[in-house]
Amino acid sequence: MNTAITIKNLQFSFPIYDQSVKQILFENTSALFQHGMVHAVYGRPETGKTTLGRIMAGLVPTFTGGTITGEVLLGKIDVLKTKGYDLLEHIGMVFQDPDEQILMPLVEDEIVFPLESLGMNRPKIHERLEEEIAFWDLDELRNVNPGNLSGGEKKRVLLAVLCAINPSVWILDETFEELDEQWRETLIQRAVASGKTIIIFASKHIELYDIYIATWSVINDKQIFQGSKDQVLQLLGDNWEYKKLHPSMPYISHSVFEKPETILSVRNLSYTYPQGNSDFTLFVDKLDIYSGKITAFYGPNGSGKSTLSKLLCGLLTPDHGEIFFPENGEKQKHAAIGALQKFTGYLFQNPDYQIFLPSVKEELMYSLVQAGVDRDDAYRQAMSCAELFGLQNLNDIPSIMSYGSRKRLQAAVCYLLDRSCFIFDEADSGILMSEYIRIVDLFVKREASLILITHDLRLAKRLADTVIVFQDGRAQVGFYD
């Protein structure tokens, strides 16, 4: 059987910066991917899935730096000795973050750009363009700036680009994550029907494509292990983590036996984005946030979860309805924007939005000093918080720390804020589930109310006291079946 990709004795480590430790990502590892099959490569966050995909595509270490030895063969092509642009017709990759990959100001231009690089003539480009625009339902978006699209729409644009180029190997890096169920199904059917070599990188097991997977691999402990499905999922530890860490939800607030106090209420709220999609309006009839309790916001992309969260923390003002701080069950005080901003802390999905200082110590001390805390006291609090969140070195430079470390730092920064309620916006993405749960646990122990925004219904049901389900801008209490 033909081998599409051969990896032999691969060794790779990232470059060393000031005060950072040498990070070996792959240590003398090998793997084979057969031609014309669908391969699943799993790995927990930060094990090197994306880097492996980029090594295969000839992009690492050219653009990241680092030391690489071994052999990566794409058929007979030595990838490590070939420029990425010369591999265009052989291998195509859909990046995990679409904003990192989209280059052009219009959707149509984005699809056409690589076809022009291939030297295709105009009729051929036109044929491929129209075919993929129709297939991925992008006709109404063809003259739109891709930067203004939703995450799922951006992924469809990138998939249209990949299909238009039609390389012999497709690498899909966490591509299924942001797609709705219908598009996931479309993608897997298209991938299987293409007869290409498909390599799917994922950090969570998605049962949807089980029946199509020919080989199972997992990146674990600097090695690429290829084996049976059960062996791979065991090493991935996905389900295992849920079972082990959720015996009876010990981190749910002690107030489960007391009458919970309502700390924030919403009544008859509606909001429409002023310059956005005027067909979308958020409606919330009634919502109460309870002291020390966990509320999950669950729903598909664009259903209103983040919009409501921004309203609750004072970043947006509702068009109608009210948000208020109740006391003794009665309407007490309309929550002004300034009051809400000081009431609610927010863990953004991207930790880099809030990180700007040159050391972990300065990041942790910053908000405390701003709030008037004495510097020595702020330092002590920062030290103890760093220990709590597993931040080993207070002198580490946040911007070059690993993604997981930056997430923990962001959580630590929020932890030190004097807030009654915290919103975790998809904070589980990119970190180990155990780590995420530990962070949730820390916040619950300080008796804060939590709102968890998530795509993961299992997570929502396991962790939350209440699940608010969002569908087309409407929020309802209940479970999504």
Partner 1 sequence: MIESSYHPGKTFVHTFDPRAKFFLLIVFTTTMFLPFQIEFLASYAVIMILLAFPAAGFRNAFSPLKVLIPIIILIIVLTPPFIKEGEILITYNNWILLTDTGLMRTCVLLSRFIGITYVFFVFFRSTPLNQVILTLRWYGLSMKAALIISMTFRFIPYITSTYHRVSEAHKLRGSFQSGMWGWSRLKGLVPVLTSVLIQTVKSIPVMSMSLEHRGFGRNIRRTSYQRLRGGRKLFTHLIFSVIIAIILIMPTFLM
- Residues binding partner 1 (CB under 8 A): 54, 57, 59, 62-64, 83-86, 88, 92-93, 95, 99-106, 109, 112-122, 125-126, 129, 143, 145-148, 161, 310, 313, 315, 338, 341-342, 344-346, 348, 350, 352-357, 366-367, 370-371, 399, 413-414, 417
CB of 363 to partner 1, least distance (A): 10
CB of 120 to partner 1, least distance (A): 6
- Burial, 186: exposed, middle or buried (Cβ in 10 Å; 0-12, 13-18, 19+)? middle
> Which tokens go with 401?
């720390």
C-alpha–C-alpha distance, residues 339 and 367, integer Å: 17
Instruction: Name which of 161 and 335 has its Cβ closer to partner 1.
Output: 161
Cβ neighbours, 10 Å, residue 447: 12
* Residue 116: C-alpha distances to residues 110, 266, 402 (Å): 11, 53, 36
Instruction: Name which of 72 and 414 has its Cβ closer to partner 1.
Output: 414
> Which tokens go with 188?
């897997």
CB of 459 to partner 1, least distance (A): 23
Question: Would you report the helix, strand and coil content of the chain in percent, each value rounded to 5?
Answer: 40, 25, 35
CB of 145 to partner 1, least distance (A): 6
Q: Are 90 and 72 in contact (CB under 8 A)?
A: no
Element (H, E) at 306: helix 305-312
CB of 201 to partner 1, least distance (A): 16
CB of 291 to partner 1, least distance (A): 20
Provide the phi-psi class of 236: left if phi over 0, else alpha when psi is between -120 and 50, else beta.
alpha
CB of 101 to partner 1, least distance (A): 5
Instruction: Name which of 8 and 124 has its Cβ closer to partner 1.
Output: 124
Q: How far apart are the first and last CA of the chain?
A: 43
Tokens 């009634």 correspond to what residue? 286
Q: Are 94 and 159 in contact (CB under 8 A)?
A: yes
* Residue 298: C-alpha distances to residues 131, 270, 350, 470 (Å): 34, 18, 19, 6
Instruction: Name which of 252 and 417 has its Cβ closer to partner 1.
Output: 417
Instruction: Name which of 142 and 267 has its Cβ closer to partner 1.
Output: 142
Instruction: Name which of 379 and 403 has its Cβ closer to partner 1.
Output: 403
> Which tokens go with 265?
């209420």
CB of 125 to partner 1, least distance (A): 5
Tokens 């891709």 correspond to what residue? 146
Instruction: Name which of 95 and 290 has its Cβ closer to partner 1.
Output: 95
Element (H, E) at 74: strand 67-74
Instruction: Name which of 218 and 364 has its Cβ closer to partner 1.
Output: 364
